[in-house]
Structure 1
Amino acid sequence: MKNIFSVILMMFAILAMVSCDSLNPSERLMVGKWYYSKSMNNDGVETTLEYHDDKTYIVNGTVRFVWDVDDGVQEVVILSLTGKGTWSIIDKMQNTNTTDVDIKIVDVSFQGENLTDDRTVIQELIASEKKRLYYDKVIPWKKECIGEYSSRIITLNETTCVTVDKDGDKTEMRRIK
């Protein structure tokens, strides 16, 4: 009985070593939970990304947009974003393949000095705008997010990951776990 238990423990140890060996040194550094935030004018995005050692990842975030609608009136839209997929790092290129994305409209509101005080008009406008946003923005964004994406790693260490995509857009994440 003791020998069987020892063999089983040894098999688990071998499996654990094999799964660890499937990651290259850069991938080992990438495993963990990362935080990304970017603000531009009134718009912003805030996400956490979790890279797992089985080369899968999940992302959760919030996106905020502010659009000028009319003279002195702005529309504020808040979206939640979740996604998952697979990832790898080969020759300083971070490659992801997003397989599932969900984008939800969390809130739509209007602000500004020329905004009407009529609550009924505002509620109807919000309902109409949520429907428009879903079809004009959310559905196309979901389709854009699905698929493969690559970016060159500039810096990757225990605390920071900086990448640049093919358009020259720089992304800087910091480790939170």
Structure 2
Amino acid sequence: MKKIFSVILMMFAILAMVSCDSLNPSERLMVGKWYYSESSMDHDGNKATVESNYEYHDDKTYISNGTVRLVYDGDGVQEVVVLSLAEKGIWSIIDKMQNTNTTDVDIKIVDVSFQGENLTDDRTVIQELVASEKKRLYYDMVIPWKKESMGETSYRIITLNETTCVTVDKDGHKTERRRIK
């Protein structure tokens, strides 16, 4: 009788462990740490470089941390803006679609600097310019970007394996991440 009871108890334990795993095979592949990097240039010669680390957890939550470096050229003066980004949310993969719901976004202006041949040598003017630019960027870039980043998004998965994840958004923009852990 003890053996039968032990076997039944073991079967229930195995069933409980199997039913707790709510990840499908694609989601199991996604769990881990991923690195993303991209550089781009617009038609005016302005440059953007993004680097981020993403952590997808087996409880279907995620966090990401990264930096954005923007370089604006104009009239002999170059403006360099560095932002830090942090996100939290939940995720899933259903029918080759990676779905995320971003629940928290933090964007900070880390640094604003100016350089170039047409830049004044007056430090007071430069400090005032930096302070003014930080304020403008906060209202014109940070606040709208936070609002845009919140909520649900879906990406079509092109490739997902042990080392690489390639997705495409609704506008056709391709993103490639490399596993780091």
One of 142, 163, 168 as aligned partner of 2:146: 142
Q: Which letter maps to 1:18?
A: S
Distance in structure 1 (CA, Å) of the matches to 2:117 and 2:166: 40
Distance 1:84 1:19 in 2: 23
Question: Structure 1 residues 14 and 66 mapped into 2: Cα distance closer, same or farther (>3 Å)?
Answer: same
- In structure 1, the gaps of 5 or more residues are 1-5
- Per the TM alignment, residue 15 of structure 1 is displaced from its structure 2 partner at its CA by 5.2
- Matched residue, 1:31: 31
Instruction: Give me the whole-angstrom Cα distance separating, in 2, the residues matched to 1:83 and 1:34.
Output: 14
Equivalent residues in 2 for 1:25-64, closer than 5 Å: 25-41=25-41, 42-64=47-69
What does residue range 1-177 of structure 1 map to in structure 2 within 5 Å?
16-20=17-21, 22-41=22-41, 42-68=47-73, 70-177=74-181
Question: What is the Cα-based RMSD across aligned positions, in Å?
Answer: 1.8
- The residue identity in structure 1 corresponding to 2:56 is Y
Q: TM-score, normalised by structure 1?
A: 0.89
Deviation at 1:23, TM superposition (A): 0.4
| CA–CA distance in structure 1, aligned partners of residues 150 and 51 of structure 2 | 19
Alignment partners' CA distance in 1, 2:78 and 2:16: 56
The alignment partner of 1:158 has SS state of coil
Q: Partners of 1:14 and 1:79 in 2: how far apart? A: 47
Length-normalised TM-score, structure 2:
0.87
Question: Which residue matches 2:3?
Answer: none
SS state at 1:54 partner: coil
Alpha-carbon distance between aligned partners in 2 of 1:130 and 1:139, rounded to the nearest angstrom: 12
- Give the fraction of aligned pairs with identical amino acids, expressed as a percent: 79
Q: 1:26 to 1:117 in 2, by over 3 A?
A: same
- For residues 64 and 13 of structure 2, what CA distance do their matches in structure 1 show? 30
Distance 1:15 1:127, change over 3 A: farther
- Which letter maps to 2:71? V
**1:13-67: CA deviation from partner (whole Å, max 9, x where unpaired):** 76543332x0000000000000000011431000000000000000100001112
